[in-house]
Amino acid sequence: MATLKDVAKLAGVAPITVSRVINDPQSVKERTRLKVEQAIKQINYMPNSIARSLVTNRTNTIGVLLSNIANPYFSDFILGVETKARELGKNVFICNGMNYESAMSNINLLMEKRVDGMILTSFEFDSIGLQEKLLRELERLNANEKHSVQFVLVDPSPKQTLLTSIQIDNYMAATVAMDHLHELGHKAIAHLSLNRDADVWIDRFKAYKDAQGRINIPLNTEHIALIDKEDVRLAEEATYRLLLTTPRPTAIFAANDTLAVGALQAAHRTRLRIPEDISIIGIDGNDIAKHSYPRMTTVVHPRYRLGELSAELLIDLINGKEDTASLLIKCTLQVNESTGPLLMQTEGINEQHD
């Protein structure tokens, strides 16, 4: 593969002149420039970014570490990151980090590749301890004097960190979902969520509890179902248990769309009509919700925008802007077909117990 030298020889100039044509064309006389440009084309020269990075100590590359690339939640997010990053002249590399080990290994990989910064999305490792450990590690890398790496954390848990972060307002999103159900007249509302100690689930659960409290419904533990994995089948099975309780819930607030789809499956298979017999609402606004039957009512996260914002924030940090504040992102209700008003007969059942 051709090098600067080759081009220089062909064009009859010094290597540095070729370098200038590439990096700062105006600094070279037009005649020389044209000569060089032609030589570049002729031997199909392509700059070696490896060599360049070694000198400049910059790779113009950012890394994105996802907790799980197979999670549809992240597709739009990445598109947003990529689009904005490309717009700002940065390349993007994507890595998977499904557990503490693979996350750490990929962060090290990205460090070795000397990315200028990283975006890390909501990690949920087995223990909150591991998550804290990771956070401290990142803070250490960030504080490193030479070649300090910049980080942007998306919805980290625990929230307390010195690093720049973008928080999703999970409590608000869940409150919006609950308010919607309340406005439709539902009182016996079940909550389907994950048995994890990450803030995202804790906040959504707290919003559920508080919302029920506001309409004077005490917490009914039979109406809480927590599963171990974000999995449609597990959510379906948990929902069967919810549907066997008395009074039967008239609505289910699922902590995200994947779980909501599981609830939908269970409702279908118990021959319940949706939303006449039971309303179901999720959070996220994934494709999985858009493609369900009936279409899922959900609280939409602006994931693409979130990606754009993350990229912008990170690149600002890389460019030395100090005043880049952490952000809090809001979500919006999207009413579709899976929620409807509480009907009389079910209301009757419900009121027996009120």
Partner DNA sequence: CTGTTAGCGCCTTCAC
Partner DNA sequence: GTGAAGGCGCTAACAG
Chain positions contacting its own copies, by CB under 8 A: 1, 46-51, 53-54, 59, 61, 69-70, 72, 75-76, 78-79, 82, 91-96, 108-109, 111-114, 144, 146-147, 232, 261, 264-265, 268, 287-288, 290-294
Instruction: Please identify, using beta-carbon distances, which residue of 30 and 322 lies nearer to DNA.
Output: 30
| Residue 271 binds which of DNA, its own copies, none (CB < 5-8 A, kind-dependent) | none
> Whole-angstrom Cα distance, residue 247 to residue 60?
59
The region of 2-10, 74-82, 311-319, 334-342 touching DNA under the rule CB under 7 A is 2-10
β-pairing verdict for 117-121 and 279-284: unpaired
Structure tokens that stand for 55 in this block: 């000198």
Binding mask 3-42 for DNA (x = CB under 7 A): xxx-------xxxxx-xx-xx---xxx-xxx---------
Instruction: Please identify, using beta-carbon distances, which residue of 115 and 188 lies nearer to its own copies.
Output: 115
| Residue 70 binds which of DNA, its own copies, none (CB < 5-8 A, kind-dependent) | its own copies
| Helix/strand/coil (H/E/C) assignment for every residue in 78-91 | HHHHHHHHHHCCCE
| Residue 185 binds which of DNA, its own copies, none (CB < 5-8 A, kind-dependent) | none
Among 37, 43, 47, 237, binds DNA (CB under 7 A): 47
- State the burial class of residue 171 (Cβ atoms within 10 Å of its Cβ: 0-12, 13-18, 19+): middle
Instruction: Please identify, using beta-carbon distances, which residue of 53 and 99 lies nearer to DNA.
Output: 53
> Whole-angstrom Cα distance, residue 331 to residue 168?
8
| Residue 91 binds which of its own copies, DNA, none (CB < 5-8 A, kind-dependent) | its own copies
- State the burial class of residue 310 (Cβ atoms within 10 Å of its Cβ: 0-12, 13-18, 19+): buried
For residue 118, which of 305, 318, 263, 322 has the smallest C-alpha distance? Answer: 318
| Residue 291 binds which of DNA, its own copies, none (CB < 5-8 A, kind-dependent) | its own copies
Beta strands in 67-163 (DSSP E): 91-96, 117-121, 150-154
Phi and psi at residue 279, in whole multiples of 5°?
Answer: -100, 145
| Residue 28 binds which of its own copies, DNA, none (CB < 5-8 A, kind-dependent) | DNA
Structure tokens that stand for 229 in this block: 């994995």
| Residue 293 binds which of its own copies, DNA, none (CB < 5-8 A, kind-dependent) | its own copies
> Does residue 350 sit in helix, strand or coil?
helix
* Helix/strand/coil percent split, the chain, to 5: 50, 15, 35
Instruction: Please identify, using beta-carbon distances, which residue of 21 and 66 lies nearer to DNA.
Output: 21
With binding defined as CB under 7 A, does residue 52 bind DNA?
A: yes
Question: What is the total count of residues that contact DNA (CB under 7 A)?
Answer: 27
The minimum distance between CB 318 and DNA, in angstroms, equals 16
Structure tokens that stand for 324 in this block: 């880049």
Contact set with DNA (CB under 7 A): 1, 3-5, 13-17, 19-20, 22-23, 27-29, 31-33, 47-48, 51-52, 54-57
